[in-house]
Amino acid sequence: MAKDGERRDPLNRARVLRAAVALADESGLEAISMRKLAQALGVVPMALYKHVANKDELLDGMVDAVVSEVEPPQEGLDWKAAVRRRTLSARAVMLRHPWARRIMEAQAAPTHVILAYTDSMIRTFLAGGLSADLVHHVMHALGSRIFGFTQELHETAPTAPSDLSPEQVQYMMATFPGIVAVATARPHDPTSVVGSGCDDQFEFEFGIDLMLDGVERLHRNDWRSADHDREAASVL
């Protein structure tokens, strides 16, 4: 560094976070270490601690940056369309930053930004006339889906059927007949009968619509918590 002309302008929290998001986008979450991030910024690791308290706070900041990319609530939509649209926007954001999901799942406490987002989503429901009681349970049921997460356990299917050797297919069919039956039944994608994967967008919309349609029906029927208890009891 020394005195070779002008000094680079000093770091700040925003630049650190931006660099971290870019690094994670490029190289994945496991590439995020204080040392590597510092290197990417041309700075010594400890310099970062002047701008973020510690690594956890860095991760929180990265998530906040991502959540802020979700489009704000739209005017003039009924509650269902508004929630659907915002959730799909969130999903698009999460596809750009797939690492964000794992941070959010691992972090213990929600940040202010996340609370604000949640609050805004809740108010959309309330503004639509749903009871606070119903909204409460709906938010639990939706869970992290409002952040655009697919609730899949493993982002990648083990392997596409077409990539398997005949013996492997044989083995799969013998061992996991259910999985094979269902994995090869995807008539909604006529371009490839047994393509490389699922139509993730379709699956996401199927899931969110399954829930929102259910919610709408409960709302129309003036649902109350006590109703659910009664139904559940009748099932057993």
Partner DNA sequence: GTCAGAGGTGTACGCCGTACACCTGTCAGT
Partner DNA sequence: ACTGACAGGTGTACGGCGTACACCTCTGAC
Please name the helix (run of DSSP H) or strand (run of DSSP E) that holds residue 127, with its range, or none: helix 112-127
By the 8 A CB rule, do 218 and 134 touch?
A: yes
Compute the distance between CA of residue 35 and CA of residue 58 in angstroms, rounded to an integer. 13
Q: From the CB of residue 123, how many other CB atoms can be counted at a distance below 10 Å?
A: 13
Please name the helix (run of DSSP H) or strand (run of DSSP E) that holds residue 212, with its range, or none: helix 200-220
**Binding span for DNA by CB under 7 A among 5-13, 78-86, 96-104, 200-208:** 5-13
**In terms of C-beta density within 10 A (0-12 exposed, 13-18 middle, 19 or more buried), how is residue 139 classed?**
middle
Would you count residue 89 as binding a copy of itself (CB under 8 A)? no
Residues 148-187: x where in contact with a copy of itself by CB under 8 A, - otherwise, as a string: --xxxxxxx-x----------------xxxxx-xxxxxxx
Would you count residue 142 as binding a copy of itself (CB under 8 A)? yes
Compute the distance between CA of residue 197 and CA of residue 186 in angstroms, rounded to an integer. 10
Would you count residue 232 as binding a copy of itself (CB under 8 A)? yes
Alpha-carbon torsion, ordered 62, 67, 71, 74, to 10 deg: -150
Would you count residue 92 as binding a copy of itself (CB under 8 A)? no
Residues 20-59: x where in contact with DNA by CB under 7 A, - otherwise, as a string: ------------xxxxx------xxxxx-xxx--xxx---
Compute the distance between CA of residue 145 and CA of residue 132 in angstroms, rounded to an integer. 19
Give min distance, CB of 85 to a copy of itself, in A.
Answer: 9
With respect to a copy of itself, which residue has the nearer C-beta, 69 or 205? Answer: 205
With respect to DNA, which residue has the nearer C-beta, 55 or 137? Answer: 55
Which runs of E-coded beta strand occur in 77-136?
none
Give min distance, CB of 20 to DNA, in A.
Answer: 11
Which partner from the list DNA, a copy of itself, none does 11 bind, CB cut-off 5 to 8 Å by kind? Answer: DNA
Residues near DNA (CB under 7 A) are: 1, 3, 7, 10-12, 32-36, 43-47, 49-51, 54-56
